[in-house]
């Protein structure tokens, strides 16, 4: 019984990070109308930035998180206008072309990192949160607690921004209806750039902590892209509240499958469950999203 409780707790703690990388992905999809195939690469690049902070700069990755956020937010700000231009071009199929663009961006990032660091797995060595915390008969890694705390703070601040600021109101307006938002004076292009920049920074920061919990390779981007896609679809398209629940569900499922079945079957079982949920509830786990 203690193993089951520990497995569920570990899954919930990791699920918080899945929420962080998925909530920005969901909002980016709503604002840009593009499924970003590069989301996993933002995670992977963030993790390798964490590796570089200890290997080259001798800085603890936790202290390096603000630098990771700013750097990748700037990169996201530079990339976003290209996605926006492709998505809003006069091409016969702009959505498909934008999808191909993000796929190419992901392939470029993955290929560049494979050339730079090779195929060997790396782990982000976070020195300030080593050890475990004992709760009765259950031992929880301190790093997972720190990851969950980061996820809770980041998600909370993100939600406050989204629902308590004028810029957040503009973002939600663009996600709901771009034409009407534009008529009301919202700069749709600038808002789209800002959202993608924020999403790239948040996702990369989550990647640092994910790289500390799991080993990371330059080829792992597609796995985390699938994870983010799972959360957003399970949540229901456009349902922010659903993302909070679906991310935790994914974390628990991943943990249970790894412990009681095998890590090799994680994606197969996870997406089998996603299929069943969507058959029963096409609008997502809370029945609040778009079918």
Secondary structure (3-state) at 124: coil
Tell me the C-alpha to C-alpha distance, in Å, between residue 6 and each of 1, 9, 149, 150: 9, 5, 18, 20
**In contact, 69 and 201? CB cutoff 8 Å:** yes
Would the pTM count as exceeding 0.85? Answer: yes
Give domain status of residue 277, yes or no.
Answer: no
Give domain status of residue 143, yes or no.
Answer: yes
Q: Tell me, what's the pLDDT at 279?
A: 83
Q: Tell me, what's the pLDDT at 36?
A: 92
Give domain status of residue 11, yes or no.
Answer: no
Give domain status of residue 290, yes or no.
Answer: no
Strand partners, 290: 237
User: How many structural domains compose the chain?
Assistant: 1
CA dist 186 and 173 (Å) reads 8
Q: Is 190 exposed, middle or buried (0-12, 13-18, 19+ CB in 10 A)?
A: middle
Distance from the Cα of residue 180 to its chain's centroid? 29
Give domain status of residue 252, yes or no.
Answer: no
Give domain status of residue 68, yes or no.
Answer: yes
Q: Tell me, what's the pLDDT at 281?
A: 79
The token duo for 87 is 């998505």
Give domain status of residue 270, yes or no.
Answer: no
Question: For residue 179, what are the domain limits?
Answer: 20-238
Q: Tell me, what's the pLDDT at 131?
A: 79
How many residues can be counted in the chain? 291
Segments in the chain below pLDDT 50: none
Give domain status of residue 43, yes or no.
Answer: yes
**In contact, 276 and 230? CB cutoff 8 Å:** no
């Amino acid at each position: 019984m203690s193993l089951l409780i520990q497995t569920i707790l570990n899954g919930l703690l990791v699920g918080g990070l899945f929420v962080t990388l998925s909530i920005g992905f969901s909002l980016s999809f709503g604002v840009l109308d593009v499924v970003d195939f590069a989301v996993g690469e933002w995670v992977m690049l963030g993790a390798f930035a964490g590796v570089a902070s200890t290997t080259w700069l001798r800085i603890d990755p936790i202290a390096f998180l603000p630098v990771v956020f700013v750097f990748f937010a700037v990169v996201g700000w530079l990339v976003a206008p290209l996605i926006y231009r492709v998505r809003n071009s006069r091409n016969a199929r702009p959505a498909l072309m934008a999808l191909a663009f993000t796929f190419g961006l992901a392939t470029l990032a993955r290929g560049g990192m494979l050339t730079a660091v090779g195929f060997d797995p790396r782990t982000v060595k976070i020195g300030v949160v080593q050890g475990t915390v004992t709760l009765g008969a259950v031992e929880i890694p301190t790093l997972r607690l720190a990851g969950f705390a980061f996820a809770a703070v980041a998600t909370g601040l993100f939600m406050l921004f989204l629902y308590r600021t004028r810029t957040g109101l503009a973002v939600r307006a663009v996600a709901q209806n771009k034409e009407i938002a534009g008529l009301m004076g919202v700069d749709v292009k600038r808002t789209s750039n800002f959202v993608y920049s924020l999403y790239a920074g948040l996702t990369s920061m989550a990647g640092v902590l994910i790289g500390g919990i799991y080993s990371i390779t330059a080829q792992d981007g597609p796995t985390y892209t699938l994870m983010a896609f799972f959360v957003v679809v399970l949540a229901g398209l456009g349902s922010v509240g659903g993302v909070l629940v679906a991310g935790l569900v994914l974390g628990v499922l991943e943990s249970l499958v790894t412990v009681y079945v095998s890590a090799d079957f994680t994606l197969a079982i996870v997406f089998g469950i996603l299929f069943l949920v969507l058959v029963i509830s096409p609008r997502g786990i809370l029945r609040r999203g778009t079918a």
